[in-house]
Amino acid sequence: MDDTIFDHSLTCRRALARLRRTEARLRGRSLDVVWHEYSRLLDVVQPDVLAGRITIQAARVERFRQLARFCGTEVTPEEAAGLSRQYRAHYQKLRRTVPGVRRVLERLRGRTVVGVVTNNEVAEQERKLDHLHLRPLIDFMVVSEGVGVAKPDPGIFLLALEKAEARPEEAVMIGDSWRSDVTGARNVGIRPVWFNRFHLAPPDPWPVLEIDSFRSPTRTESVLAGTRPGCSDRT
């Protein structure tokens, strides 16, 4: 879901830009630097949220307390909670799909089974599908909170295969996270495709097809089919 279908990264950046217009406490560094630090803080705490060791609300408050400190300002937990609420309001309004993905999903509709395998809260991911008007294009969604296991654990992929009524060799997993999506899928025999729109270096030397954009539906389809036109094959 996030950063493959739903454009989390750029929605996050735009929400932080809106917040900085009224919050001088977050203007101690450039927008790009603040955005990257926010993303880093999110990645650090996400495993604890998924494991239930901290609530998502507490994580959001702590993230903004640390972000303010990173920008040179100390804030109280109450002030951090206020920053989190403002950011969240902007984020909700600015949500959008990854460019080109809607057209790809429309072309795949009726030709194959399309499922979403995602780490997050069920309600949060359901709201995204509704806000983005993608529900008619998705056959099923498996959410870590709802099934009690998160990517890259093999269990969540096996549950998705059951819902799709498919064997691993019949499935393709496309996702932006090397660890959660590429490694997770590969470990259960599903062919991964890395959605690498930020042109990151792969952390492992596996031969994996990758694509950096959905703007060409025909190219995307060729990658999903296992051919290589217009994409990279890391070896």
Domain architecture of the chain: domains with CATH:
8-94 (1.10.150), 101-234 (3.40.50.1000)
228: confidence class by pLDDT, cuts 50, 70, 90: low
Q: Report the DSSP beta bridge partners of residue 145.
A: none
Evaluate if residue 132 carries a pLDDT over 90: yes
| Cα–Cα dist 87/213, whole Å | 27
Whether the pLDDT of residue 232 is over 80: the answer is no
Q: What is the mean pLDDT of residues 81-110?
A: 97
Query: What per-residue confidence (pLDDT) applies to 220?
Result: 95
Whole-Å CA distances, 47 to 51, 106, 119, 229: 6, 33, 10, 36
3 backbone φψ class: left, alpha, beta (φ>0; ψ -120 to 50): left
Short-list 158, 168, 163, CA closest to 141 = 163
pLDDT digits (tens, 9 = 90+) for 134-181: 999 999 999 999 999 999 999 999 999 999 999 999 999 999 999 999
pLDDT at residue 231 tops 90: no
User: What's the CA angle centered on 36, arms 231 and 14, to 5 degrees?
Assistant: 85
Q: What per-residue confidence (pLDDT) applies to 52? A: 86
- CA 125/CA 123 separation, integer angstroms: 6
Instruction: Give residue-wise pLDDT tens across range 27-36.
Output: 999 999 999 9
Tokens representing 172 are 């393709």
For residue 136, whether the previous peptide bond is cis, meaning omega lies within 30 degrees of 0, is no
